[in-house]
Amino acid sequence: MGSIRLSMRVFIARAGAAALALPMLLGGAIPASATIVSHAMTPADSNVRYEYLGDSADLGQVLFGCQTRSRDPNFPRAFCYGPDQIRAAYDIQPLLNSGVDGTGRTIVIIDAFQSPTIQQDLTLFDHLWGYPDPTLNIFHPFGLTDYHVDDPNQRSWSGEISLDVEWAHVVAPGATIDLVLAPSNQDADILAVTKWAVDNNLGDVISQSFGEAEACMDPALVAQQHEVFTHATAKGITLFASSGDQGAAQPTCDGQPDSFVLSASTPASDPDVTAVGGTHLLADAHSGAYSSESVWNNGFGASGGGFSTIYRRPGYQAPFQPNNKQRGVPDVAYDGDVRGGVIAAWGSSQFGPGQFFIFGGTSAGSPQWAGIVALADQKGGHRLRAINTPLYHIGKSDAYGSAFHDITAGNNSFGGVSGFPAGPGWDAVTGLGTPDVANLIPLLL
- 123 Cβ neighbours under 8 A, 6+ residues apart: 4, 133
Residue 387: alpha-carbon gap to chain centroid: 15
Is 164 among the residues known to form the active site?
Answer: yes
d(CA 241, CA 268): 5
- 439 Cβ neighbours under 8 A, 6+ residues apart: 91, 399, 402, 403
Can you tell me the mean pLDDT for 360-368? 96
Q: What pLDDT does 1 receive? A: 36
pLDDT bin (cut points 50, 70, 90) of residue 48 is very low
Is 363 among the residues known to form the active site?
Answer: yes
d(CA 240, CA 194): 12
Q: Name the catalytic one among 45, 91, 164, 212.
A: 164
Which sign, positive or negative, has the C-alpha torsion 143, 145, 301, 407? positive
Q: What pLDDT does 162 receive? A: 97
d(CA 128, CA 126): 5
| Host H or E run for residue 436 | none
Asked whether the beta carbons of 156 and 46 are under 8 A apart, the reply is yes
Superfamily of domain 42-444: Peptidase S8/S53 domain (3.40.50.200)
Q: What pLDDT does 40 receive? A: 84
Domain ranges of the chain: 42-444
pLDDT bin (cut points 50, 70, 90) of residue 13 is very low
More confident residue, 145 or 8: 145
Q: What pLDDT does 79 receive? A: 81
Can you tell me the mean pLDDT for 322-340? 93
Look at residue 37 and tell me whether its pLDDT is greater than 80. Answer: no
Look at residue 383 and tell me whether its pLDDT is greater than 50. Answer: yes
Can you tell me the mean pLDDT for 85-108? 98
Q: What pLDDT does 65 receive? A: 75
State the helix-helix crossing angle for 437-444 and 388-395, rounded to 10 degrees: 110
pLDDT by residue (tens digit) across 62-81? 567 778 765 455 544 448 89
Q: What pLDDT does 255 receive? A: 81
d(CA 81, CA 78): 10
Q: Name the catalytic one among 115, 269, 363, 366.
A: 363
Q: Name the catalytic one among 160, 212, 377, 436.
A: 160
Can you tell me the mean pLDDT for 101-113? 98
Can you tell me the mean pLDDT for 120-141? 94
Can you tell me the mean pLDDT for 376-391? 98
Neighbours of 345 (CB within 10 A): 25
Q: What pLDDT does 219 receive? A: 95
Can you tell me the mean pLDDT for 113-131? 94
Is 55 among the residues known to form the active site?
Answer: no
pLDDT bin (cut points 50, 70, 90) of residue 417 is very high
Which sign, positive or negative, has the C-alpha torsion 309, 312, 314, 318? positive
Compute the mean pLDDT over every residue in the chain, rounded to the nearest whole number: 88
Indicate the pTM of the whole model: 0.91
Q: What pLDDT does 391 receive? A: 98
Look at residue 8 and tell me whether its pLDDT is greater than 50. Answer: no
pLDDT by residue (tens digit) across 333-352? 999 998 899 999 999 998 88
pLDDT bin (cut points 50, 70, 90) of residue 26 is low
